Chain A
Amino acid sequence: GQSLEQPSEVTAVEGAIVQINCTYQTSGFYGLSWYQQHDGGAPTFLSYNALDGLEETGRFSSFLSRSDSYGYLLLQELQMKDSASYFCAGLLRATNKLIFGTGTLLAVQP
């Protein structure tokens, strides 16, 4: 089956850099998306990697390595408002479905 694993929790200090990893168990993904979800809210789209390598969007960057079945989200210059859950999601080939990872709760401390 398809599964995407993430660390359950990560803690970092305001202004620091944090990396959230995502490893997956299927080769059936077109690419990897990342979503942010604040407590009680709806997920919002952050980025998508269709190809191997690094994609940068402001303070956020996302990386994908298909050969390693691995990706990560890099958050720089952390702010308190970045405290949220972050989910990777694989876009399943030949479908319109996203398979979401287990999620990582990021706590940014002052």
Chain B
Amino acid sequence: SQTIHQWPATLVQPVGSPLSLECTVEGTSNPNLYWYRQAAGRGLQLLFYSVGIGQISSEVPQNLSASRPQDRQFILSSKKLLLSDSGFYLCAWSHRIPAYEQYFGPGTRLTVT
């Protein structure tokens, strides 16, 4: 069976510090991978998605970046965090087809102070 891991679960970082969130998927090959951010009480905003190694589509201009160094590994990074980067970060994967059913990791709750 497929599983998705995401860590850390919670993170408190000062403004201006770097960020690295990691997501790994097990039990499947060639998945689509996604990073979402969710503000408190709000919907999910798609940040990045990837259909293969090194292939990243950015959805929202910001100070975040994503990388996919291996087929089942997806990393979200920032060089300098802003207060507005606080939120709940969710990694998800889907099969190539269909992509309407996405499987989410447990999420990372990031607080930038």
Interface contact A42-B44, CB-CB below 8 Å? no
Segment among A51-59, A73-81, A92-100 that sits at the interface with chain B: A92-100
Q: Is A103 located at the chain interface by the 8 A CB criterion?
A: yes
Q: In the bound complex, do residue A96 and residue B96 qualify as a contact, i.e. CB atoms below 8 Å apart? A: yes
Contact indicator A102/B104 (Cβ below 8 Å):
no
Residue total for A at the interface (Cβ-Cβ under 8 A): 21
Taking the complex as formed, is B32 at the interface, i.e. its CB lies under 8 A from any CB of chain A? yes
Across-interface contacts of A89 in B (CB, < 8 A) = 100
User: Which chain A residues lie closer than 8 Å to B59 at the CB level?
Assistant: 97
Q: How near does chain B come to A105, taking the closest CB pair, in angstroms? A: 8
* Structural contact, B43 and A42, CB atoms closer than 8 A: no
Task: List residues of chain A with CB within 8 A of the CB of B98.
Answer: 48, 91
Main secondary structure of the interface of B (DSSP, over half): loop
Q: Once the chains bind, are A91 and B43 in contact (CB under 8 Å)? A: no
The answer, yes or no, to whether A87 is at the interface (CB within 8 Å) is yes
**With contact pairs A87-B43, A91-B100, A96-B96 given, residues A42 and B105 touching in the complex (Cβ less than 8 Å):** yes
Q: Scoring B residues 85 to 104 as 1 if CB is less than 8 Å from chain A, else 0, what string do you get?
A: 00000100010101111111
Query: What A residues does B41 contact at CB under 8 A?
Result: 105
| Shortest Cβ distance from A45 into B: residue | B101
User: Is the Cβ of A100 less than 8 Å from the Cβ of B90?
Assistant: no
Instruction: Report Cα–Cα, A41/B103, bound state, in Å.
Output: 12
- Are A98 and B100 neighbours in the complex by a CB distance under 8 Å? yes
CB-based nearest A residue for B90 = A42
Least CB distance, A4 to chain B, in whole angstroms: 9
Whether the pair A45, B96 counts as a contact (CB closer than 8 A) is no
Q: Are A42 and B107 interface neighbours, CB within 8 A?
A: yes
Chain A residues lying within 8 Å of B64, measured Cβ to Cβ, are none
CA distance A97 to B102 in the complex (A): 10
For residue B53, CB closer than 8 A to chain A, the reply is: no
Distance in angstroms from A104 CB to nearest chain B CB is: 10
Contact B103 A45 (CB under 8 A): yes
CB distance from B107 to the nearest CB of A (A): 6
Residue of B43, B94, B99 touching A100 (CB-CB under 8 A)? B43
In angstroms, Cα B98 to Cα A31, docked, is 11
